[in-house]
């Protein structure tokens, strides 16, 4: 049974970070399987970019794993995610839809889904949420 109490007991910004990531996962999946182009795709896409930027920025303030002082490799991923979001939006605005599509798909699967899977390792908050202590 899922128990959200460990998530809401976690130090800030972990609850915000996790909820934004879950929202981004749902919206991102919707975007991947919806028809592309048009006003709705653009509006949902901007919402997804805001969610992903929120996840990346809030991740910069989480220091549970420390490898280089207070930082870890995940902090580099946060910076790469922010740069990739800008790059993907810029590609779409320039009409490079293939480049935009490629970056957005990589962001969804690698920066969101794959890295999100690591939050379910034993000892992490989401492991406790999903499987208990």
Contacts for 25 with CB less than 8 Å, ≥ 6 apart? 112, 113, 116
Q: Is residue 22 pLDDT above 80, yes or no? A: yes
Q: What is the pLDDT of residue 30?
A: 97
pLDDT in tens, 55-105: 999 999 998 766 777 777 888 999 999 999 999 999 999 999 999 999 999
Q: Which residue has the tokens 């379910």?
A: 120
Angstrom distance (rounded) from CA 27 to CA 50: 11
Query: DSSP class of residue 133?
Result: -
Query: DSSP class of residue 131?
Result: H
Q: Per the confidence metrics, is the pTM higher than 0.75?
A: yes
Domain extents for the chain?
5-131
Name residue 71's beta-bridge partners: 68
Q: What is the pLDDT of residue 64?
A: 73
**54, 20 contact by CB (below 8 A):** yes
Least confident range from 92-96, 113-117, 120-124, 129-133: namely: 129-133
Q: What is the pLDDT of residue 70?
A: 76
């Amino acid at each position: 049974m899922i128990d959200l109490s460990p998530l809401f007991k976690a130090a800030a910004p972990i609850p915000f970070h996790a909820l934004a990531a879950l929202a981004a996962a749902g919206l991102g999946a919707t975007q991947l399987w919806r028809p592309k182009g048009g006003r709705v795709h653009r509006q949902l896409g901007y919402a997804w970019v805001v969610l992903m930027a929120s996840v990346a920025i809030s991740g910069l303030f989480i220091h549970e794993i420390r490898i280089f002082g207070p930082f870890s490799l995940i902090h580099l991923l946060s910076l790469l995610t922010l740069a990739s979001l800008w790059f993907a939006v810029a590609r779409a605005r320039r009409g490079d839809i293939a480049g935009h599509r490629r970056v957005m798909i990589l962001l969804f699967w690698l920066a969101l889904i794959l890295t999100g899977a690591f939050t379910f390792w034993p000892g992490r908050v989401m492991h406790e949420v999903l499987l208990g202590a």
